[in-house]
Homo-oligomer: A and B are copies of this chain.
Amino acid sequence: MPRTAHTSVPILPVLAERWSPRSFDPETVLTPADLASAFEAARWTPSSNNTQPWRFIAGFRGDATFQTIVDNLMGFNQVWAPGASALVLCVAQKFEPNGEPIAYAMYDLGQAVAHFSIQAHSQGLSVHQMAGIERDALTHAFNLPSGFEAAVVAAVGRLGDADALPEQLAEREKAPRVRHDFEEIVRFEGYAAD
């Protein structure tokens, strides 16, 4: 079921149509080649001083990487995310090898996953990002180098049937998409004095 955003002004279809489902088609099989363009889009994301503080570890349903990620999802993410075709651990480089913090690591990783998601959506795939993950356990399980930390997991696949989800999740899947009003997030001068 498409769930195009009701925008107040037109935006690129790929941005209006992108949303984060929990229902994935359990028959869809993806391979690394299917995600190559999405990773390439992430690779060309801008970052502060071109630090590129992002790394990705992709598992595909049935392989050991996928299972390790599933094992470290929190709460109801363990219910729906195993139905995705791929789970991608998104890693932030938070410190340089000399120990200096990379202040914009999470900001820049967010940008990179946005580019990844937009490219994937343009190829008929859906992406749902999860912060509800066991970050420390994943950092250890994949033996991330010093300074690198598990940050987010992105589930990737083809949109499935919302009604195949457990009832509570199916309701959320079909609820209207909502955002703050435009005027709440955009202004042209500072906030009024208290």
Residues of A at the B interface (CB closer than 8 Å) are 5, 7-12, 14-16, 18-20, 32, 36-37, 39-46, 48-50, 52, 54-60, 63-65, 68, 103-104, 106-111, 113-115, 117-119, 122, 129, 131, 141-145, 151-152, 177-180, 182, 184-194
Contact = CB atoms under 8 A, between A and B. Distances in A.
A109 B113 CA distance: 12
B11 A44 contact: yes
Q: What is the copy number of this chain in the assembly? A: 2
Contacts of A151: 107
11 contacts: A9-B37, A42-B185, A43-B185, A48-B131, A106-B106, A106-B107, A106-B110, A110-B110, A111-B111, A111-B113, A144-B190
A7 B188 contact: no
A170 to B, nearest CB: 18
A77 to B, nearest CB: 12
A145 to B, nearest CB: 6
Nearest to A5: B44
B107 A52 contact: no
A185 B56 contact: yes
B15 A141 contact: no
B110 A58 contact: no
A145 B194 CA distance: 9
Given A188-B59, A188-B65, A40 B9 contact: yes
Contacts of A108: 110
A143 B185 contact: no
A50 B178 contact: yes
Given A57-B187, A108-B110, 4 more contacts: A12-B14, A15-B41, A104-B152, A111-B114
A63 to B, nearest CB: 8
